[in-house]
Amino acid sequence: MLGARGACENGPVRPIRQSKKLQNVRYDVRGPILVEAQRLEAEGHRILKLNIGNTAPFGFEAPEAIVADMVHHLPHSQGYSDSRGIYSARTAVMNFYQSRGLRDVRVDDVFIGNGVSELISMVLQAFVDDGNEILVPAPDYPLWTGAVTLAGGTPVHYLCDEEDGWNPDLADIESKITENTFGLVVINPNNPTGAVYSEETVKGLVDIARRHELVIFSDEIYEKILFEDAVHHHTATFAGNDVLTLTFSGLSKAYRVCGYRAGWLMISGPKEVATDFLEGLTLIANMRMCANVPAQHAIQTALGGYQSIEELIGPGGRFYEQSMLAHRLLNEIPGVSNVKPRGALYCFPRLDPEVYAVEDDQQLVIDLLRSKKILVTHGTGFNWPHPDHFRLVTLPDAEVLEEAIGRIADFLATRR
């Protein structure tokens, strides 16, 4: 017998569905392909996971000083902290940016979060109204597109130019600005392409934001992972006092502590015109109580101590040598081309459409997974508009990387 809400003796008949807010949200780095990988693992297969930049499984360990400092502070980390973060961590972040020429940064301009990912979601929830358009690069780190959508906004993707080292196409950005455009996302160094934007490009992005009164969201989590002559330029340096700039960074990659979830947000520019937004951001920060406190104690130690990342990014260092090896091996595969990464931990190779007739790149990487037990991420998962790229994580040591790309080459030989 049915009740007032459609229930019967055997339980409810009304289906429980996900929120409609998730209808257009994707995060394919951990999507259907990972589910398939987990199914294969359950059958006993060993899968080499090159889909996510997680340093620990590939033998990269946190600097001892960071671990020791966290352990030392554990007895004092049992309660909530200030919702913006502990004072020593925010001071360390302030000093970091001041030392790079951003003299006006103050402690109150810094928020600590459970990684950059949490801070991105918090900021967009506080900033975006339904229908607001936010310019996001293509390819992008897909959390940006998903978080804009979840906040009720509309992500509008501007193209990065593969033939120009994956620098953003400034003319394409200009062409996509409307009266509903409110923000511009910059990912530099870039995930997934490994691009490090030129000074001219960063200035051009800031100039667009200035002329169109846009807020800049600058994701700089890979700022310390730079190869050869690459130079990272903080977007805030050129934004000055007239473009509100939200800079995101953290410890996950450069300090090999992805699981600690220690990130920060630095706000610069004309904060006097953003008091209402900042009040909203503080409200959201208060609602989540605080970031995890033990990891916050690692921030001062990391930023103020010996920068061990230098041992990894120069010739002979694993980050550098593995990125260059992957770049070379990928370009040796017929019909595959890869722009040399200048930073970060990834390659984003292109499959020549005249050699590989790929219509569904997600199916392609699923076929690769089933055939060769290699897990990568398809290019459209990063909101690239064509099914002709995939992203490869360059974290395995040289021997494993060479074996993995060899398997990819064997697989692609069957698809030409």
Whether residue 149 is predicted with pLDDT greater than 80 in this model: the reply is yes
Whether residue 89 is predicted with pLDDT greater than 70 in this model: the reply is yes
* HSE (side-chain half, CA atoms, 13 Å) at 30: 5
pLDDT reported for residue 13: 85
Q: What average pLDDT does range 103-109 have in this prediction? A: 94
Q: What average pLDDT does range 214-236 have in this prediction? A: 97
What does the pLDDT look like over 355-370, one tens digit per residue? Answer: 999 999 999 999 999 9
* HSE (side-chain half, CA atoms, 13 Å) at 162: 16
pLDDT reported for residue 1: 44
DSSP-derived 3-state class of residue 263: strand
DSSP-derived 3-state class of residue 156: strand
Q: What rounded mean pLDDT belongs to the chain?
A: 92
Q: Which two tokens stand for residue 163?
A: 């033939």
How far is residue 172's CA from residue 142's CA, in Å, rounded to a whole number? 20
How far is residue 255's CA from residue 92's CA, in Å, rounded to a whole number? 15
Whether the bond between 189 and the residue before it is cis, its omega within 30 degrees of 0, is yes
Neighbours of 140 (CB within 10 A): 24
How far is residue 76's CA from residue 290's CA, in Å, rounded to a whole number? 15
DSSP-derived 3-state class of residue 267: strand
How long is the chain?
Answer: 416
What does the pLDDT look like over 166-224, one tens digit per residue? Answer: 999 999 999 999 999 999 999 999 999 999 999 999 999 999 999 999 999 999 999 99
Nearest to 185 by CA among 228, 226, 132, 225: 132
For tokens 């080292």, name the residue: 165
